[in-house]
Amino acid sequence: KAGVTQTPRYLIKTRGQQVTLSCSPISGHRSVSWYQQTPGQGLQFLFEYFSETQRNKGNFPGRFSGRQFSNSRSEMNVSTLELGDSALYLCASSLEGQNTGELFFGEGSRLTVL
Amino acid sequence: KQEVTQIPAALSVPEGENLVLNCSFTDSAIYNLQWFRQDPGKGLTSLLLIQSSQREQTSGRLNASLDKSSGRSTLYIAASQPGDSATYLCAVRPVPEGGSRLTFGEGTQLTVNP
């Protein structure tokens, strides 16, 4: 059974550009959530999507957005990149409706903003 | 607002030692608590998940306990090995209405010396 797949794994952008990251959840999982990990702030919640609807949103500026498609795949977009957006972006999926609520994470997309 | 604290921030032990990692949280209204392992530059690997109604979970050499009333969890690693070297993170999930938004601790960086 394939795990959570994130693409691209690494990317380098310059300030002012925009970036789109992709996440394919475990087959059958309908919830996808995104986290940002930086050395200074640790792991912070960005947003969660369930059945193509944003169910939760963290405290990030509007430059950070996301969406989920009918096949549960999700994308997140960051516009007008800033140096502080350099981070490891992690995607997690879970099989909602079951009682465990366990989250499974992908390997992440490492974004470097120059 | 939920806050999660992990102590110690770093730990170095000789191979073969048994060790305990600590996690505390401020709001006891949790759905579950999950322990993860993260290797440098990698994503998160789920180790153990404890439901709010459970007291402990075991997997191989790992045992996690949960005392929801006191807001504490411990991860016990028996007979540590160099391959256990990694950062260990605990995360709490709020009651189901909160979706799959996890609040993470800062992690404990474990080094097991041969």
DSSP chain B: ---EEEE-SEEEEETT--EEEEEEES---EEEEEEEEE-TT--EEEEEEEETT-SEEEETTEEEEEEGGGTEEEEEE-S--GGG-EEEEEEEEE-GGGTT--EE---EEEEEE-
Place B97 in a pLDDT band, splitting at 50, 70 and 90: low
User: Under an 8 A CB cutoff, do B42 and A45 touch?
Assistant: no
Given this model, what pLDDT does residue A97 score? 64
User: Under an 8 A CB cutoff, do B101 and A45 touch?
Assistant: yes
Residue B93: list chain A partners with CB under 8 A: 101, 103
User: Under an 8 A CB cutoff, do A31 and B98 touch?
Assistant: no
**Torsion sign across C-alpha atoms A42, B5, B40, A50:** negative
A98 pLDDT above the threshold of 90: no
pLDDT, one tens digit per residue, over B58-74 is: 999 999 999 999 999 99
Q: Which of B40, B8, B39, B15 lies closest to B113, judged by CA?
A: B15
User: Under an 8 A CB cutoff, do B34 and A100 touch?
Assistant: no
A96 pLDDT above the threshold of 90: no
Given this model, what pLDDT does residue B96 score? 67
pLDDT, one tens digit per residue, over A4-60 is: 999 999 999 999 999 999 999 999 999 999 999 998 899 999 999 999 999 889 999
Interface test with A, best of B1, B101, B104, B106 (most A CBs within 10 A): B101
Average pLDDT in chain B: 94
